[in-house]
């Protein structure tokens, strides 16, 4: 389906919030407004991703404008509940999702789950970075890990919500080092912005988040990058991998976009085409480069299959860590 065909379909598509079908004459065959729910507070990785992708929807001619709603908390599951309730079968509504949300569903067991959305496209993948406050008494991550092994509770870790990739990474580190999971001192935050403030304020021993979220603060020397969760060092930092530090942990944090579960086959196919058009746009490529994200596109049915497989894989890890 080409862009013009998509726009013609979209003009005639039912708008759930109006409670009934629209005729083609009711809306022009032109870019239409979209709504994007971001299940996190402003300033974090999901917020940056959602707004950058919304901008790409406009720049690619799919959307005339995009309005955003931030609804943070509980690893995105509060936003998931709002999306399921308030957006229903709206073919112009999207929600940002990612591995963090899957972890939140597994650990928090909320009343809504993935059956309330249709995964549309994976946008990026990103690895986490662990950072220290500027005045930290620890010179590097090796010393932090040495203290963690000696007295686990003395190290106050902090990052995203319970079940986030950085939270899972801490448990993987503990397992690799033989530290009992119940002795981990982890403080969850509702978004990367809150976690960053806690690090810079000296409230945490070690902070963790997506590399792009902490990059501005690392660049301005308001925090020090001391380890990354990738298999190789990341461009933009000389921080060692956890593998280099001897703990054998690699974990990524993908982000994507989904639609309401109530869409019909034609609606889902049209939105899939729209997502591909936005991903192919120069505006999106520039956003990826600007934020130093790792592009990792996967659209439509293959992404749905990936999400289902990822959910089972994460559940296995979390149950073994005692978090499920």
Distance, CA of 306 to CA of 66 (rounded, Å): 27
Q: Are 250 and 230 in contact (CB under 8 A)?
A: yes
The predicted pLDDT at position 4 comes to: 57
Q: Are 275 and 121 in contact (CB under 8 A)?
A: yes
What would the pLDDT profile of 84-99 be if each residue is shown by its tens digit?
Answer: 999 988 999 999 999 9
Q: Which helix (H) or strand (E) holds 175?
A: helix 165-177
Strand partners, 67: 35
Q: Which helix (H) or strand (E) holds 34?
A: strand 32-38
State how far the alpha carbon of 236 is from the alpha carbons of 133, 194, 216, 225, in Å: 18, 23, 11, 10
The predicted pLDDT at position 12 comes to: 54
Task: Please name which of 262, 261, 272 lies closest in space to residue 297, comparing C-alpha atoms.
Answer: 272
What would the pLDDT profile of 163-199 be if each residue is shown by its tens digit?
Answer: 788 999 999 999 999 999 999 999 998 778 899 999 9
The predicted pLDDT at position 322 comes to: 79
The predicted pLDDT at position 20 comes to: 40
| Percentage of the chain modeled with pLDDT above 70 | 91
Q: Are 187 and 167 in contact (CB under 8 A)?
A: no
Per-residue buried b or exposed e for 17-34, using 16+ beta carbons within 10 Å of the residue's own CB: eeeeeeeeeebeeebbeb
| Percentage of the chain modeled with pLDDT above 90 | 70
Strand partners, 255: 98, 124
Phi, psi of 93 (to 5 degrees): -110, 135
Task: Please tell me the CATH superfamily of domain 127-228, with its number.
Answer: Periplasmic binding protein-like II (3.40.190.10)
**pLDDT band at 318, cuts 50/70/90?**
confident
Task: Report the mean per-residue pLDDT for the chain.
Answer: 89
Quote the strand ranges of 71-184, DSSP E: 93-98, 117-132, 156-159
First to last CA, the chain: 42
Distance, CA of 309 to CA of 1 (rounded, Å): 28
2 pLDDT exceeds 90? no
DSSP 78-99: HHHHHHHHHTTT-TTEEEEEEH
What would the pLDDT profile of 213-257 be if each residue is shown by its tens digit?
Answer: 899 999 999 999 999 999 999 888 999 999 999 999 999 889 999
N residues, the chain: 324
The predicted pLDDT at position 13 comes to: 54
Q: Are 168 and 250 in contact (CB under 8 A)?
A: no
The predicted pLDDT at position 293 comes to: 86
State how far the alpha carbon of 240 is from the alpha carbons of 45, 129, 160, 229, in Å: 22, 10, 21, 9
Q: Are 191 and 115 in contact (CB under 8 A)?
A: no
What would the pLDDT profile of 55-77 be if each residue is shown by its tens digit?
Answer: 999 999 999 999 999 999 888 99
In the chain, residues under CATH classification 3.40.190.10 are 127-228
CATH of 3-124+255-320, one of 3.40.640.10, 1.20.1250.20, 3.40.50.1820, 3.40.190.150: 3.40.190.150
Distance, CA of 75 to CA of 163 (rounded, Å): 7
Mean pLDDT for 101-117 is 92
Strand partners, 121: 257, 299
Structure tokens at 172: 């993987």
Q: Give residues with Cβ within 8 angstroms of 305, minimum separation 6.
A: none
In the chain, residues under CATH classification 3.40.190.150 are 3-124+255-320
Global pTM value: 0.74
């Amino acid at each position: 389906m080409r862009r013009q065909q998509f726009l013609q379909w979209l003009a005639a598509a039912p708008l759930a919030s109006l409670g009934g079908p629209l005729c083609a004459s009711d809306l022009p065959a032109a870019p239409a407004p979209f709504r994007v729910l971001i299940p996190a507070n402003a300033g974090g990785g999901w917020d940056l991703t959602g707004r950058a992708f919304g901008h790409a929807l406009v720049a690619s001619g799919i959307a005339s404008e995009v309005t955003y709603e931030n609804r943070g908390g509980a690893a995105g599951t509060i936003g998931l509940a709002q999306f399921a309730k308030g957006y229903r079968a709206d073919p112009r509504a999207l929600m940002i999702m990612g591995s963090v949300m899957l972890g939140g569903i597994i650990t928090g067991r909320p009343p809504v789950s993935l059956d309330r959305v249709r995964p549309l496209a994976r946008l990026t993948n990103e690895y986490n970075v662990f950072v220290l406050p500027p005045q930290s008494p620890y010179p590097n991550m090796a010393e932090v890990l040495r203290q963690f092994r000696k007295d686990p509770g003395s190290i106050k870790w902090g990052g995203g919500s319970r079940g986030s990739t950085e939270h899972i990474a801490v448990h993987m580190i503990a397992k690799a080092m033989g530290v009992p999971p119940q002795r981990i001192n982890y403080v969850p935050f509702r978004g990367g912005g809150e976690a960053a403030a806690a690090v810079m304020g000296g409230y945490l021993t070690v902070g963790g988040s997506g590399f792009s979220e902490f990059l501005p603060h690392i660049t301005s020397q308001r925090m020090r990058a001391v380890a990354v969760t990738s298999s190789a060092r990341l461009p933009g930092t000389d921080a060692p991998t956890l593998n280099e530090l001897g703990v054998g942990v690699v974990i990524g944090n993908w982000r994507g976009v989904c639609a309401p579960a109530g869409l019909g086959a034609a609606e889902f196919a049209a939105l899939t085409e729209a997502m591909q058009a936005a991903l192919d746009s120069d505006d999106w490529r520039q956003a990826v480069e600007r934020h130093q994200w790792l592009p990792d596109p996967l659209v439509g049915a293959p992404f749905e299959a990936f999400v289902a497989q990822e959910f089972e894989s994460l559940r296995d890890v979390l149950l073994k860590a005692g978090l499920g």
